[in-house]
Amino acid sequence: MKVKYPRSLKTGDTIGVTAPSSGAQEPLHILLSKAKENVEARGYRVVTGETAWTQQKGRSASKEKRAEELMSFLLDENITAIIPPWGGSFAMEILPLIDWEKLKSAPPKWLLGYSDISTFLFAYSTITGNASAHGINFAELSSPQWDSTSSRWTDVLGCCENGEVAQYSSDHYQSNWQKVYDNPATGFYFDSKTEWKHLSGLSEAEFSGRLLGGCISTLRTLIGTPFDQVKDYVSNYAAEEGMVWYLESVGLDAINIYRSLWQMKQAGWFNNTNGILIGRPSRYKANQEFELVDALSDIFAEDNIPVIYDVDIGHSPPQNILVNGAFAKITYKNIQGTIHMKYQ
């Protein structure tokens, strides 16, 4: 079976903003307004749903309203791409309310986001076979100047079937969010040198396969549910090429990262895998002498596959924009990396 890619996003197209997990409380409406202003200044149209502007008890709205608005955006032929304001904690609630059969027959549509949004992206891609994009969320586009790494979302969504996109490791990353919270809508504050690392300490590595992944903190919720269709996805779309998994985390210590990866491995998620990309963990801490590298080694060392960590993925920006389903070639050399994606 072939991965289905949405049509490319072009200037003049409409981007829909809906909140399948968390919306924005009133003090944060400035982020959505500034992001809309910036995106429209670059030639796109923006349609913002009701859920983006509301928030109560961690949810933008009831699960029914969130599912209904998202479905309406996905089926609206006038909307080319959907970018939620940000993540949250409750995206899994809408999965049973989605008409997956209708989405399988509908034209594929670009969805872009990370954190809890990866819960829906993951299900959307593995259930329908449609590509989706893991990367910057809409609120982060409120910055008056987009950084060179995260801004590649326009190239990634602007590519189409049989096209190719190359992305590179950043120069510096943001180690914490405090300055962003203190100075909303001013962009990221990069304060640390980016260094991709090889788990085995090698200076070079190269591997390839179909991309799939997201946020460990939320994806683990899907294991053992009807929305865990990883085995079928790998069999149908990556039997020959194999997989490249990308994973990142927020708010997990080393032991909980290990537990989550252990559960994924026991569920068969890492079968037929050629390599692993691990994003910089956010709000992370070690457990005494048990570190992130111990967790990764205990899970992947026996598989004899390359594991690159501290990659530009997830909650410690900037981040590369990774397409679920795309065929990717990863090249790593001396703390730097390249991700070359083919939409095939």
For this structure, is 340 an active site residue? no
DSSP 155: H
Q: Are 42 and 13 in contact (CB under 8 A)?
A: no
DSSP for 170-211, written as a single string = -SEE-S-SHHHHHSTTS-----EE---EETT--SEEEEEEEE
For this structure, is 115 an active site residue? yes
Helix, strand, coil % over all residues of the chain, rounded to 5:
35, 25, 40
Which residues, other chains included, contact 27 with Cβ-Cβ below 8 Å and sequence gap of 6+?
Answer: none
* Closest-CA residue to 71 (of 46, 49, 40, 38): 49
Q: Measure the CA–CA gap between 335 and 105, rounded to whole angstroms.
A: 43
Encoded tokens for 308: 């690159």
115, 125, 142, 282: which one is catalytic? 115
Q: Please write down the HEC assignment for all residues of 286-321.
A: CECCECHHHHHHHHHHHHCCCEEEEECCCCCCCCCC
Encoded tokens for 181: 């919270």
What backbone torsions phi and psi does residue 341 show, to the nearest 5 degrees? -105, 135
8, 208, 248, 282: which one is catalytic? 248
Q: Measure the CA–CA gap between 160 and 294, rounded to whole angstroms.
A: 39
Q: Measure the CA–CA gap between 19 and 82, rounded to whole angstroms.
A: 10
- Positions marked active-site: 115, 248, 315
